[in-house]
Amino acid sequence: MAQTKTWNTTIKVRLDPTPAQAAFFDENFNCCRYLWNQMLSDQIRFYTETDAHFIPTPAKYKKDAPFLKEADSNALVSVHQNLHKAFQRFFSNPSRYRHPTFKSKKRCKNSYTTYCQYYRSGKGTSIYLTKDGIRLPKAGLVKARLHRRPLHWWTLKTATISKTSSGKYYCSLVFAYTTKPSRQIPPTPETTLGLNYSLSHFYIDSNGHAADPPHWLARSQDKLRYMQQQLARMQPGSRNYEQQLYKIQRLHEHISNQRKDFLHKESRRIANAWDAVCVKDTNLVKMSQAIKLGHVMDAGYGRFRSYLQYKLERLGKPYIVVEKYFPSTKTCHHCGSVNEALPAGAKRWTCPICGTTLDRAKNAAQNLRDQGLVQYSASQRQRASA
Ligand SMILES: [Zn+2]
């Protein structure tokens, strides 16, 4: 039975701070980085001396570093918590997680996270939205482009302020909300979509539809390549060079936004139109290493799948992952026989058993859909008998 579920959702907005507010944000980034590094070096020292894990609280540092008092105190608390979490992860599984590392001004992202406090009187919060801005602790009212509004039953949890390498400020607001249990519609072959990853088309679905990455994305990529060639001919350190570098950083950001936009729209379209989606459990990292992707969508498919997963789950629809070793490509969709002799590059092939001519990608997507439904009903039966 479906239960009431709590979800987190994020709205990211561009901030338009005054010079004083921008300076405050920059100072906060520095304070958080400073505190992280101090806490980390103290933890390392305690650990080598006493063999016990301990991270002092932010208040401990304010005496020696009075500039921390100027920072948003909740942001400092979240540094403490993040470092603590990073250690917990590391201790739980040292082979999988790295030991926390020091943050550098050059390499690391400029950001800090602060909490929304709900005042005890029940009136007001420490962070709130106005018509054209966001009120942030210590920064005051910051102008923002609010293209999207939270729904009235969402509660604001945290705000993360960040700065891109080209100098733009953003605020990511995390909201929590609960959904009531919805009646699940059992998926049928007609209402279920199988997706097969495709290098040249992003994916091919079980109806033979290809999701070609939009042409404007490829155009931006071409432009980027051209600009990088220009940069290579410039004198490093010169004014032209710096300007070109800035333009390239901006284009990088633009491309990443264009890509995200495409992935969100594509996953939203599918999540709304279908009752269930089946994908294959593949190791995307290994795959991209094997193929050496010089492709526009490179790592996008992994992100696309995670977008699709949460969008489906929020609608109460199943997202089905077909196990890795299922031979989706080699199986004939028509008769179910497995063709071990299938040549690697063939786009179309003819089944030696039943003689059907198959489209390689579409056939694989159809097999994924059918296998996904088999897996799904088996898991439902298992749940019912448990
Ligand atoms: Zn066949």
What's the pLDDT tens digit per position in 260-287?
899 999 999 999 999 999 999 876 555 5
- 320 Cα–ligand 1 center, Å: 25
Q: Which residues surround ligand 1, an ion (CB under 5 A)?
A: 332, 334-335, 351, 353-354
pLDDT band at 87 (very low <50, low <70, confident <90, very high): very high
- 276 Cα–ligand 1 center, Å: 26
- 274 Cα–ligand 1 center, Å: 27
The predicted-structure confidence for 336-361, as pLDDT tens digits, reads as follows 999 988 888 788 999 999 999 999 99
pLDDT, residue 102, reads 95
Q: Residue 3 pLDDT > 80, yes or no?
A: no
pLDDT, residue 290, reads 52
Q: Residue 381 pLDDT > 50, yes or no?
A: yes
pLDDT band at 147 (very low <50, low <70, confident <90, very high): confident
- 177 Cα–ligand 1 center, Å: 48
Q: Mean pLDDT, to the nearest integer, of 184-196?
A: 90
Which of 205, 211, 203 minimizes the C-alpha distance to 368? 205
The average confidence (pLDDT) of the chain is 89
- 344 Cα–ligand 1 center, Å: 18
- 71 Cα–ligand 1 center, Å: 68
- 369 Cα–ligand 1 center, Å: 17
CA distance 34 to 37: 5
202-235 as b/e: b if 16+ CB within 10 A:
bbbbbeeeebebbeebeebbeebeeeeeebeeee
Which of 5, 362, 105 minimizes the C-alpha distance to 210? 362
pLDDT, residue 324, reads 86
For the ranges 102-106, 248-252, 294-298, 371-375, the lowest mean pLDDT is seen at 294-298
The residues, any chain, with a CB within 8 Å of residue 128's CB and separated by 6 or more, are 134, 135, 156
The token duo for 138 is 């210590």
CA distance 362 to 194: 9
- 194 Cα–ligand 1 center, Å: 19
The residues, any chain, with a CB within 8 Å of residue 81's CB and separated by 6 or more, are none
Q: Higher confidence at residue 214 or residue 12?
A: 12
Q: Residue 231 pLDDT > 50, yes or no?
A: yes
- 282 Cα–ligand 1 center, Å: 25
